[in-house]
Structure 1
Amino acid sequence: MKLQPGREAMVRVAIATLWSRPEAVRPVDGPALSARTDIAAWISGMDSDQQVGDCVLSQLLLGERVLVTELRPDGWAHVVAVEQPAPQLHPRGYPGWLPVEQLAPATDTVDADPLVVDATVTALRASPGGAEVLPGVVLGTYLPPAGPAVDGWQPVHAPGHAAPLWLPAGDVVPVPTTPPTADEVLAVAQRLVRVLYVWGGVSAYGIDCSGLVHLAWRRLGVLLPRDASDQATATTPVPLGTERPGDLYFFARPGRRIHHIGIVTADPRPGDDRRMLHACYLQRRVLEERLPDDRTATLVGAHRV
């Protein structure tokens, strides 16, 4: 079966980067473009300015579904990432471009309840303990089980692979079916502290502010929009001063749209002493900190998921 415009496909690489347009791709982006992506090498090969280039829109994890809207003869597909809501951009999801070889035709949904990767990074193998087939599979990736675990190894289905692939059984857990607690959300986000800030990133290799929020809730079974402004629309405002850990802080300059988001990590204290965990563009990493004065000056609200 081939990819066709108007039909869904699935990401077949560990992490697929969604591009603004094929012509925006740079020579440094090679490791992110192949049929076996190496996102760690891609990020380490960029300088700090390249890591925040606006040619990258988002990233999709193994098994994410997309709607194919256009196929180009040069090997690029225009898609809508249907598991990353972006209502200000497209009613179905986040639009952008992917290399065709990073996609596989969508298969029917497997009846078994999906598993979600809980390891920061793992690899899918051809057999228990065998050769790596898909390295770099990251936290928050959903994988349909292909049967029960065997001697500590879990078989899973992966797009583009007819036979099951295997990973350590301890690297995956059932997708939660109840709303997460604040402690659970913060526990996921705290595991990403010190991860590099990468514009459009949604992985443990590199991540941006809204990607951190999207990924933390994705790991816990909750689908939030991809961008901060849409995340604000999809959540419930609470009065400043009543926020609590696990809520979200939103930031915007006067007359401008929301440009930043962080996860509340402590109850507010007298004197506007607030704390949050966020992917910080200025310090180019994920950190937990007291809101500095410049952040407090642009704080426009707190919301609850």
Structure 2
Amino acid sequence: MELQPGREALVRVAVATLWSAPEAVRPIDRPALAACTDIPAWISGMDTDQQVGDCVLSQLLLGERVLVTELRPGGWAHVVALEQPAAKLDPRGYPGWLPVDHLAPAAPVTGAEPLVVDATVTALHTAPGGAVAVPDVVLGTRLTPAGPAADGWRPVHAAGHADPLWVPTGHLAPVPTMPPSAGEVLTVAQRLLDVVYIWGGVSAHGIDCSGLVHLAWRRFGVVLPRDADDQAVATTPVPLGAERPGDLYFFARPGRKIHHIGIVTAEPRPGDDRRMLHACYRRRRVLEEPLPAERIATLVGAHRV
């Protein structure tokens, strides 16, 4: 089966980058465009200005569903990322461009209960302890089991691979059937401390502020929108002063839309001593810190998922 406009497809690489246009990619982006992407090499090769280039819209994880809307000569597909809500852009999901090589036709749903990658980064192997078939698979990736575990390894189905691949059993967890507690989500997000800030990033290799929130909840099977302003609409406001660890802080300048989001890490103290975990554009990494004065000045609310 081939990719066709109007049909769904699946991401077949560990992390696929969603681009604003094929013409927007830069020479530095070559590792992110390869048939087997090397996202760590891509990130390490960029300077701080290139890390925030607006050519990157978002990222998609192995097995993520997209709707193909256009195929362009030269090996590009315009898609809608169905698991990344973006109501202001497209009611179906987040739109953008991917290399055709990063997609595989959607396979029939097996009905097996999915698993989720709980390791920060892992790899899929051709056999237990065998060669790496898909490197750099990240936290929050969903996989379909292909049989029982054996000797500490679990076989899984992966998009674009006919034969089952193998993952260390300890790197997987069942997708929860009940909503997670805020504390559970915060614990997952804290594992991404010091990850590099990448505009549009949604992975343990590089991430942005709303990507951190999206990915932390995705680990538990909860789908939140991709962008901070949409995340505000999808969550419930709580009075400032009543926020708890795991809630969300939103930030906006006067008269402007929300531009930043962080995860509350402590109950507020007298004197407005608030703390959050966030992917910080200014310091180009994920960090946990008290809100500095310039953040307090743009704090517009706290919300709860």
User: TM-score interval w.r.t. the shorter chain?
Assistant: over 0.9
Equivalents in 2 of 1:88, 1:110: separation in Å? Answer: 33
Task: Say whether 1:125 aligns with 2:125.
Answer: yes
1:199 partner amino acid: W
Task: Say whether 1:82 aligns with 2:82.
Answer: yes
- What stretches of structure 2 of length at least 5 have no aligned partner? none
SS at the partner of 2:84?
coil
Task: Say whether 1:60 aligns with 2:60.
Answer: yes
Q: Which runs of 4+ in 1 moved over 3 A?
A: none
Identity of aligned residues (%): 79
Q: Matches of residues 168-207 of structure 1 in structure 2 within 5 Å?
A: 168-207=168-207
Q: Which residue of 2 aligns with 1:45?
A: 45
SS at the partner of 1:186?
helix
Shift of residue 220, structure 1, vs aligned partner = 1.3
**1:138-177 Cα deviation digits (max 9, x unpaired):** 0000000001101110000001111100010110000111
Q: Which residue of 1 aligns with 2:105?
A: 105
Q: Is the deviation greater in 159-168 or in 177-186? A: 177-186
Q: Which residue of 1 aligns with 2:232?
A: 232
Equivalents in 2 of 1:301, 1:183: separation in Å? Answer: 20
Shift of residue 114, structure 1, vs aligned partner = 0.4
Q: Matches of residues 19-38 of structure 1 in structure 2 within 5 Å?
A: 19-38=19-38
**1:73-108 Cα deviation digits (max 9, x unpaired):** 110000000000000100000000000010000011
**1:172-197 Cα deviation digits (max 9, x unpaired):** 00011111112211110100000010
Task: Say whether 1:153 aligns with 2:153.
Answer: yes
How many corresponding residue pairs?
A: 305
**1:189-243 Cα deviation digits (max 9, x unpaired):** 1000000100000011100000000000000111100000000000000111111
TM-score of the pair, normalised by structure 2 = 0.99
SS at the partner of 1:185?
helix
- What stretches of structure 1 of length at least 5 have no aligned partner? none
RMSD: 0.5
TM-score of the pair, normalised by structure 1 = 0.99
Shift of residue 110, structure 1, vs aligned partner = 1.9
Q: Which residue of 1 aligns with 2:267?
A: 267
SS at the partner of 1:263?
strand
Equivalents in 1 of 2:17, 2:110: separation in Å? Answer: 25
